[in-house]
Chains A and B, each alone.
Chain A
Amino acid sequence: MRLKQFSIRTLLNLVTVVAGLACLFPFLWMIRSSLMSNIEINTYPPHLWPETLRWDNYPSVMNTFPFVQYLINTLVITLPSLVGVLLTSTLAAYSLARLDFPGKRLLFVLVIGSMLIPTAVTIIPIFLGWTALGLSSGYIPLIVPAFLGGGAFNIFLCRQFLMTIPRDLDEAALIDGASHRQILFDILLPLVAPVLISIGLFTFILYWNDLLGPLIYINNTEQNTISQGLANFKSGFGTDWKAIMAASVMAIVPPVTLYFIGQKYFVEGIVLSGLKS
């Protein structure tokens, strides 16, 4: 019996290690390929690891893949959007979680209902709307929507979290003469900080990884985002695999770093969205 227990445990550990390494393999393969010459990369059977590590692939790819420029462009879109999402989704969530007003139910249903509409459906009329305003080329159409509620899902998540905090707290503050702005920003927001950090991290990743938006609104290559720059690089240098792999590694380092820093909040945010709704 004890032997059987022991061997099941060993088996489970073994399966975990094999599956986990398989999951890591694409990362390993990308890094390994980014450090080879194109001659070595096109050898068959493939070498598992480069004979010499060609770190200079990285500076040389930056001549055709202006990583720093793309990084700045992406941040110019992402950071203001982050502010917009956090601010406007919190305001809406506070109204829906804490205040009573005529038409509340209807508005709540509309906001949540819009969550179910696939974003891809409305890209053409929205694009034509920006065109009519003369703003269809540039960052504005990518940033402004973040300031318009910040996404139904984020409003919903923040509302759910606010609902768990006792209302006595606000009422006591109201009697002490606090305004709604003070209640929300000074009392409640510190209490819901974990969910705000989660929303912030996911918004960051969403904007960072978005490709469709930049493809529609950014026509000038100097304004390209990282994802867009990487897609263009792939179509422009289709067979220069060492360069493509080096560019890919650079593009995924920022989100992966952010993940390791904020891991706890990523996991909590995902769990919240999956179990509370």
Chain B
Amino acid sequence: MTTRFSRGNTRTAYLFLVPALVGLVFMTILPLLGVAGISLTNWSGLEPPQWIGFDNFVQLFSEDNYFFHSVAATLYFAFGSVISGILYSFLVALLLNQKVFLRGMWRSIFFLPYIVPIIGSSIVWSWMYEANFGVFNWFMNLMGFDKVKWLQDEALANPSLILMTVWGCGNLIVIFMAGLQNIPRTYLEAVEMDGGNAWHKFRHVTLPILSPVIFFNFLTSVVVNLQTFVPAYAITRGGPSDSTLSMVFLMYREGFMRNNFGHSSALSLLFFFFVAALTALIFATSRRFMFYEGE
């Protein structure tokens, strides 16, 4: 009886896993090997590729300043967006965790920008940032400042895109709110009994209990924002002076606009190691500030 079941189990299990395994092989493993192989060629898609060893990498590190600009732009945008996004969403979640009126409605409103296609929000925000008639410059004038060129100014382009990204991170708010609602009331009451104030509750109960949620939000936002593409493609074209030249946009530009598949694959491979190293670093440092219940 049991053996018949387990033999049937094995066959069914492999059968059900066929699509996922084909995907794993053809959409992940082979392409990863492929990207490494292509990075050692000068493939342009038109002529047969030639083996050129590590020339693409040598070029990226020596001649091609684009690479270093793109690393700087990606790090600036990703960490700017993640840190501001976490702070914003955590503050909004704390606010909505209070007994504010129409709480459900406000939650929907704060979540809504997350649903909007990034191309849509990029277009709307670029219109609000427009230098002559844009609404942001009107606010600047109302507050007594001069107009500025938000997206055409090397120093302001990234902060402008970061503000737009922060607006779109309503998913983080929802996760934080759920985490806050899971905090046992007894813990908070215990702090009150000991004469603690709101800050003590936040510092010694809320923050430690939420640390795994903060970590999850942090990690997923880092991975998402390192892959930023749409604003650079649709709005800034990587400019001004490469300040918003994200690595994925550079990969797209080299690969699909200039047909340098070898060069672009070398970039992809470096991007892979770059993301892997950052993820490992985040995991390694997370142990220091994480708190797990029951430890």
Contact = CB atoms under 8 A, between A and B. Distances in A.
Check if A and B associate: yes
Interface of A: 9, 12-13, 15-16, 19-20, 23-24, 26-27, 29-30, 33, 41-46, 88-89, 91-92, 94-96, 99-102, 104, 107, 110-111, 114, 116-129, 131, 145, 147-150, 155, 174, 180, 205, 208-209, 211-212, 215-216, 226-227, 230-231, 234-235, 241, 244-245, 248, 251-252, 255-256, 258-260, 263, 266-267, 270-271, 273-275, 277
A231 B10 contact: no
B272 interface: yes
Contacts, number: 271
B20 A92 contact: yes
B133 A44 contact: yes
Contact of B252 (A33, A212, A256): A212
Contacts of B217: 274
Given A92-B16, A208-B117, 7 more contacts: A91-B19, A100-B9, A118-B227, A121-B31, A180-B12, A211-B234, A231-B233
Contact of B167 (A23, A205, A211, A248): A23
Contacts of A27: 112
B120 A248 contact: yes
A121 B256 CA distance: 14
B10 A101 contact: yes
Contacts of B8: 180
Given A128-B38, A208-B117, A121 B268 contact: yes
Contact of B35 (A12, A121, A211, A215): A121
Contact of A92 (B17, B26, B95, B230): B17
Interface of B: 5-6, 8-10, 12-14, 16-17, 19-24, 26-28, 30-32, 34-35, 38, 43, 45, 92, 95-96, 98-101, 106-113, 115-121, 123-125, 127-128, 130, 132-133, 135, 138, 141, 167, 171, 174-175, 178-179, 182, 213, 216-217, 223, 226-227, 229-230, 233-234, 248, 251-252, 255-256, 261, 264-265, 268-269, 271-272, 275-276, 279
A149 B8 CA distance: 22
Given A27-B112, A205-B115, A33 B127 contact: yes
The secondary structure that dominates the A interface is helix
Given A118-B227, A234-B123, A124 B268 contact: yes
Contacts of A212: 229-230, 248, 252
Contacts of B272: 117-118, 121
Given A107-B17, A120-B227, A209-B117, A16 B95 contact: yes
Given A120-B268, A211-B230, A99 B12 contact: yes
Max count, chain B CB within 10 A of own CB: residue among A9, A27, A91, A148: A148
Contacts of A255: 115-117
Max count, chain B CB within 10 A of own CB: residue among A128, A147, A227: A128
Contact of A251 (B117, B175, B226, B279): B117
A9 B179 CA distance: 22
B43 to A, nearest CB: 8
A271 B233 contact: no
B252 A101 contact: no
8 tightest A-B contacts by CB? Answer: A148-B23, A125-B34, A149-B20, A274-B175, A122-B31, A149-B23, A209-B117, A92-B20
A110 B27 CA distance: 13
A271 B178 contact: yes
Nearest to B36: A125
A231 B9 contact: no
Given A44-B138, A129-B31, A231-B119, A274 B216 contact: yes
Contact of A121 (B32, B118, B119, B261): B32
Contact of A24 (B92, B107, B109): B109
8 contacts: A13-B100, A92-B19, A99-B16, A117-B32, A148-B20, A180-B12, A211-B118, A274-B213
A204 to B, nearest CB: 10
A275 B216 CA distance: 8
Contacts of B30: 125, 129
A92 B213 CA distance: 27
